[in-house]
Amino acid sequence: MTHNTGTRLPARHIYRRTKACLAKEFGACAGRNEDDILRATPHIWGLLSVRPMRTLLALILGFFSILSYAQRPSVLASATGLWQFEEHTVWVQIDQDGSAYQCRIAVGGTVYASTGTVVAPSSIHWQKIWGIDQVSLQADTMVLKGPHGAFRYQRATQTMAPACIVAR
């Protein structure tokens, strides 16, 4: 079946007129079989009329996905404090204002330090050296996963080394 332009339309976007043409459109129907007259439905109505439940479920899923992402708590509240990498001279300090500081003292005594910012919901953007770390918390362990690997930090039982405090 073809539209009056001679092109075939997809079945889901058309409907068949039944039995008689409307009086105001009679001129377009004159001389044609009424069963062969097709009309394309507007695009949005075609979508809704073809699969209304699928469309409704997609909209609901999209709404709740956005809502759950917007309400995801930031790691900042749980991660505030001083963290240490095993028993090495590596510390991460996360402050209430969302600032972060990482300090590493190499075997030769060289201090590597960088400041950063906690970005919701769960990453730290370091200004230099380490790039972006994804943060996850599991009990008293903080895992920083970034371009240089994944590292597990424990809540510090001792204070940061004086060389790191001076570098800050």
Give the E-state strand segments of 29-166 in sequence order: 38-40, 81-85, 90-94, 99-105, 111-119, 123-126, 132-138, 141-146, 149-155
DSSP strand pairing (81-85 vs 38-40): unpaired
Number of folded domains that form the chain: 2
Indicate the average pLDDT of the chain: 74
DSSP secondary structure string for all residues of 10-62: -GGGEEE--S---GGGHHHHTTS-GGG-EEEPPHHHHHHHH-HHHHHHHHHHH
121 vs 62 pLDDT, higher one:
121
Per-residue pLDDT at 152 exceeds 90: yes
Mind listing the pLDDT tens digit for each residue in 65-95?
A: 665 554 445 667 788 999 999 888 999 999 9
Residue 123 clears pLDDT 50, i.e. is over it: yes
Choose the weakest-confidence range: 27-36, 69-78, 145-154: 27-36
- Range of the structural domain that residue 112 is part of: 76-167
pLDDT for residue 155: 93
Instruction: Identify the residue with better confidence: 150 or 36.
Output: 150
Q: What is the pLDDT of residue 166?
A: 83
| β-pair partners for 111 | 105
* Model pLDDT for residues 41-62, shown as the tens digit of each residue: 445 555 555 667 777 777 777 7
Which of 28, 55, 70 is the endpoint of a domain?
Answer: 70
pLDDT at 61: 74
Taking Cα atoms as reference points, which of 43, 41, 38 lies closest to residue 5?
38
Among the candidates 70, 99, 121, a domain finishes at: 70
Do both 50 and 98 map to the same domain?
no
Tell me what pLDDT residue 58 has.
Answer: 76
What CATH number does the domain containing 153 carry? 2.40.128.500
Residue 157 has pLDDT above 60, yes or no: yes
Q: What is the model's pTM?
A: 0.55
Residue whose token pair is 């001279």: 89
Residues 84 and 66 in one domain: no
Residue 134 pLDDT > 90? yes
Tokens 């609901």 belong to residue: 60
